[in-house]
Chains A and B, each alone.
Chain A
Amino acid sequence: MGARVLIAKPGLDGHDRGAKVVARALRDAGFEVIYTGIRQRPAEITAAALQEDVQVVGLSILSGAHLSLTRKVVEALREAGAADVQVVVGGTIATGDVSKLHEIGAAAVYPTGTPLPELVKSMRELCSRTSRSST
C-alpha cells in the first residue's frame, strides 16, 4: 500500500489553490491523498488523520496564522495518541517563521514557491521514515 497523506486547511482561510495543486501532484506521484476541504478545526483534522490512518498531515495556511494553527494541530494529534503522524506546513510563510514551525513540531515546511518535484521528494522521504500503524 502506498504512502497515505491528509491535506488539510485549518483556520478560516479559504485559499485552497495550493492545497489542491499539492494534493494532485502527490496523487500523480503515487500517494494516497485525502483532502479535508477548507475551514477545518484541529479536532476535525485529527479525527480525519486517525480515521484515514495517514502518515503525514499537510497543513496549507495562507492567512499568516500558521504558527498558532500548527501548534493546535500538533497538540491535538499528540493528545489523540497520534504523535507519530508527521505534520508538514505549506503556504505564505515568512522566512523567519520556518524555524519557528520546526520548533513547534513541523517535520517540513514548504513556503509558497516550493517546486512540486522538491515537495514530492521530501514527502516521500518523510513517509518512508514513518511506519504505518495499520495491520
Chain B
Amino acid sequence: MEEVLTDAGIPVKGFYGPADASPDYARDIGDPGRFPFTRGNFAGGYRDRLWTFRQYSGFGTAEQSNQRYRYLLERGGTGLSVALDLPTQCGYDSDDAAVEEEVGRVGVALDTLRDAEILFDHIPLDRISTSFTINGTAAILLAFYVAVGEKQGVPRAALRGTIQNDILKEYASRGTWIWPPRPSLRLIADTIEFCAAEVPRFNAISVAGAHFRDAGATAAQELAFTLQDGVTYCDEVVSRGRMTIDEFAPQVSFFFYTHGDFFEEIAKYRAGRRWWARIVRERYGARDDRSCMFRAGVVCGGASLYAPQPHNNIVRVAYEAMASVLGGVQSMFTAAWDEPFALPTEESTTLALRTQQILGYETGVTRVTDPLGGSYYVEALTDEMERRVVEIMADLERYGGMVKAVEDGYVQRLIADEAYRAQRRLESGDKVVLGVNRFQDPDARPLDVEGYEMEAGDRARQLARLAEVKRERDSREVARCLATLKVRSRDDDNLMPYLVDAVKAYCTVGEISNTLRDAWGEFQQPVVF
C-alpha cells in the first residue's frame, strides 16, 4: 500500500487508537494552563481572552499608514502590526538614492522620530498593543516606540507589543540583516535586558519561523529552526550573567506561518508549547512556569496562497485560521486573498479581518480549550512532530549551533532543498492545489490588478519632512549622540539608553545604522541555492 504523508513528510495511518497516544497524560499532555502546556498556556483559553486580531499593515508615509490603522481599529482590530518599508528595515534613509524605489513600498517609511509620532497619532499606546516586523533595526524602532510613548504621556511600563528582533532567520531566509551575527546578538540581548527592566509588558523578541516556512521549510523544520534560534538568544542573555531566565523569558514570544495541512499545523503548535516548556525548564532551570510558555503569533497565507482562481485564497485562509485557533495561538494575521498580486485593498483586508471575527464570534470553537486534546490522531501527530523537532535541533547543535549554520549557509541549503521538492510536488501533481494543477479554469485570465506605487506627492512629502527634521534638529546634539553610540558600541554597556537618546535627538535610522556599520561591519551572506 502506498504511504500517505503529511506536507512535512510524516507518514500517517488510516486511523488512530488508544495505543498511538502517550500513556502519560500528566507528563506529556496535562491540563491547559499546566506545564508542559501542550493543551494551551491558559486554562480559560479563548473563553477568558480571544486571540488578538492583528492585521499586518503599512505603506507609504506615516500619515497614510496612520489612517489605515485607525480604519482597522474602528472595525474591531484589537492590535496593530506595523509593516515597514525595506529601507527602514535595512537601515537606510528615504533620501538615499541607492534605495529610492523601495521607499514606502512594502511598508511605511520611518526615517526619524517625527515619522513615528505621526504614525501613532490618535492611537493610545497604553491601550493598543503594537507588533513591529522589524529585525536589523529593531532596537531603533523600540527606541522610537518608547519615545513616542513618552510624548503621549504613556509610561514605559504601560507599553505593550512586540518587536520581531530575530536576526538569525534574517540571515537564513528573510534578508534584512545589517551587521554580522556577533554584534547583532549583543544588540538583541541589550533589547531583551532593557525590556525586562523597563518595558515589562513589551515582548523584546518574537522568534520567527514564519520566514523559514515561506522560504520552503517544512512545518517541522520551521518549528525546529525557530526553537534553535530561541535557544541561541536565551544562551546569549544567560551567558552575560546579568539576568536569570525567569527575569526575561516571559517576554520572549514566537511567530509562525500556518499553511494548509490542517492537523499538522495544529500538532505543530501543541508540540511547540511542550518542547519549548521542556527546554526552558531543563536547559535553563526556569522556576517560574510563565517562563516556559510558548506564546505564538501566527500568519495565515503567504506561500500557501496562489494566483490562479484567487478567491479560493479566502477559503484557504479561513481553514488556516481555524487550524491556528485549534492549535491555541495568541494572535493572528489573516492575509487578504489578493496577497499574491499586490498590497491588499481596504475591502480585501476587511474581509480577512472578518474571517477571524467569524471564527471568534460565530463558530463556537472558542468555547472549550484545546478541543482536540485527547484525539488519538492529534496526540500522535503532536508526539511525532516533537520527535522530529528534537532530531533537527540535535543536528543543528552537532553542526555547531545556529550561528555557524546560517553563516555557512547550512540552514539555507536545507530550506532550498525543501522549496525545490515542494515545487516539484506541485508540478507533478503530488501536491494538489486547485486552479494550479487540479480543476484549472480553462478560460482563466490573469487577474488585472495594479501594483502599489507611492504617489510622487507622498514621496516628495516624505523627503521634505526628512529635510525639515534635519534642518530643525540640534546638530551638535545629533553628533554627540552618534559619537557616544559609536564608543558604546565597542564596549559591553547596554546600548538601548543611548539609542533612545539618539532617536530623541532626531538622529535618522540611516545615521544610527551607519554609525554601527562603521563599528561592526556588515554581514557577509553565503550564496547557496
B101 in contact with A65 (CB, 8 Å)? yes
Contact of A12 with B529 in the complex, beta carbons under 8 Å: no
Whether A38 lies near B86 (C-beta < 8 A) is no
Q: Which of B101, B308, B419 contacts A21 (CB 8 A)?
A: B419
Tell me if B423 and A15 are in contact (CB < 8 A): no
Per the bound structure, the CA–CA distance linking A113 and B87 in Å amounts to 27
Judging by beta carbons under 8 Å apart, are B86 and A113 in contact?
no
Whether A17 pairs with B340 at a CB distance below 8 angstroms is no
A 1-33 contacts with B by CB, 8 A: 7, 11-17, 19-21, 23-25, 33
Interface residues of B in 296-320 (CB under 8 A from A): 303, 306-308
B527 within 8 A of A: yes
Of A20, A68, A92, most B-chain CB atoms within 10 Å: A20
Q: In the complex, identify which listed stretch (A49-57, A81-89, A93-101, A124-132) lies at the interface while the others stay far away.
A: A93-101
Q: Mark A112-127, 1 if CB is under 8 A from B, else 0.
A: 1101110000000000
In contact, A13 and B86 (Cβ under 8 angstroms): yes
Are the CB atoms of B175 and A16 closer together than 8 Å?
A: yes
How many A residues are at the interface, by size bracket?
35 or more
Decide yes or no: A17 and B303 within 8 Å by CB, A37-B527, A111-B446 being known contacts.
yes
Q: Which residues of B contact A36 (CB under 8 A)?
A: 527
A114 CA / B92 CA spacing, docked (Å): 33
Task: Determine if A104 is an interface residue (Cβ-Cβ < 8 Å).
Answer: no
- Residues from chain A with Cβ under 8 Å of B416 in the complex: 17, 20-21, 24
Known: A11-B101, A21-B423, A68-B101. A96 touches B448 (CB 8 A): yes
Residue of B nearest to A39 (CB): B175
A92 to B303 CA separation, bound complex (whole angstroms): 12
> Which of A95, A113, A116 has a CB less than 8 Å from the CB of B448?
A95
**Residue of A at shortest CB range from B92?**
A12
Q: How near does chain B come to A46, taking the closest CB pair, in angstroms?
A: 15
Task: Knowing A14-B175, A17-B419, A37-B525, say if A116 contacts B105 (CB, 8 Å).
Answer: no
Contact of B340 among A13, A35, A39, A112 (CB under 8 A): A112
* Complex: A50 Cα to B87 Cα, angstroms: 28
Identify the interface centre among A16, A33, A93: most chain B CB within 10 Å of its CB. A16
- The answer on a CB contact under 8 Å between A113 and B423 is no
Given contacts A38-B175, A112-B307, contact A23 B101 (CB under 8 A): no
- Residue A107 interfacial (CB < 8 Å): no
How many residue-residue contacts, CB under 8 A, span A and B? Answer: 113
Question: What is the predominant secondary structure among interface residues of chain B facing chain A?
Answer: loop
A63 with B102, Cβ < 8 A, contacts A12-B86, A21-B420, A38-B525 known: yes
Q: What's the minimum C-beta distance from B110 to chain A, rounded to whole angstroms?
A: 15
User: Which residue on chain A has the smallest CB distance to residue B409?
Assistant: A37
**Contacts A68-B101, A94-B341 given; does A23 touch B529 at CB 8 Å:** yes
> A11 touches which one: B102, B525, B527 (CB < 8 A)?
B102
The stretch of B3-11, B186-194, B397-405, B449-457 that contacts the partner chain: B449-457
CA distance A36 to B100 in the complex (A): 21
- Nearest residue (CB) in A for B103 is A65
Complex alpha-carbon distance, A52 and B89, angstroms: 31
| Residues of B444-490 whose CB lies within 8 A of A | 446-453
Contact A17 B216 (CB under 8 A): yes
Complexed CA–CA distance, A23 and B105 (Å)? 27
Interface centre among A14, A92, A96 (most CB of B within 10 A): A14
Complex: how many Å from CA A37 to CA B307?
Answer: 26
The answer on a CB contact under 8 Å between A117 and B525 is no
Q: How many Å from the CB of A79 to the closest CB on chain B?
A: 17
- B291 in the interface, Cβ–Cβ < 8 Å? no
- Which residues of B lie under 8 Å from residue A111 when comparing CB positions? 307, 446
Which of A12, A35, A65, A97 has the most chain B CB atoms inside 10 A of its CB?
A12
Contacts A64-B105, A92-B341, A117-B427 known; A12 to B89 CB distance under 8 Å? yes
Q: Do B175 and A96 touch across chains, with their CB atoms under 8 A apart?
A: no
A12 with B340: CB separation less than 8 A: no
A20 near B419 with CB under 8 A, answer yes
Q: Is the CB of A65 within 8 A of B105?
A: yes
Q: Are A96 and B450 interface neighbours, CB within 8 A? A: yes
**If A64-B452, A94-B450, A112-B307 touch, does A12 touch B102 (CB 8 Å cutoff)?**
yes
* B101 proximity list for chain A (CB < 8 A): 11, 65, 67-69
Where the two chains meet, the residues of A that have a C-beta atom closer than 8 Å to any C-beta of B are: 7, 11-17, 19-21, 23-25, 33, 35-39, 41, 63-65, 67-69, 92-97, 111-113, 115-117
Could you name 17 residue pairs across A and B whose Cβ atoms are closer than 8 Å?
Answer: A7-B529, A11-B86, A12-B102, A15-B214, A17-B419, A25-B420, A36-B527, A38-B175, A39-B525, A64-B105, A64-B106, A94-B342, A95-B446, A95-B448, A95-B449, A113-B307, A115-B427
A7-B529, A37-B526 known; 14 new pairs, CB 8 Å cut-off, are: A12-B89, A12-B90, A13-B102, A14-B170, A14-B176, A16-B215, A19-B529, A39-B525, A64-B106, A69-B101, A92-B341, A95-B448, A113-B340, A116-B427
Spell out B's residues near A (CB within 8 Å). 86-87, 89-90, 92, 98-102, 105-106, 170, 173-176, 214-216, 303, 306-308, 340-343, 416, 419-420, 423, 427, 436, 446-453, 525-527, 529
| 10 A-B pairs with the lowest CB-CB distances in the bound complex, closest first | A14-B175, A68-B101, A12-B86, A37-B527, A94-B451, A20-B529, A65-B101, A23-B529, A113-B307, A95-B446
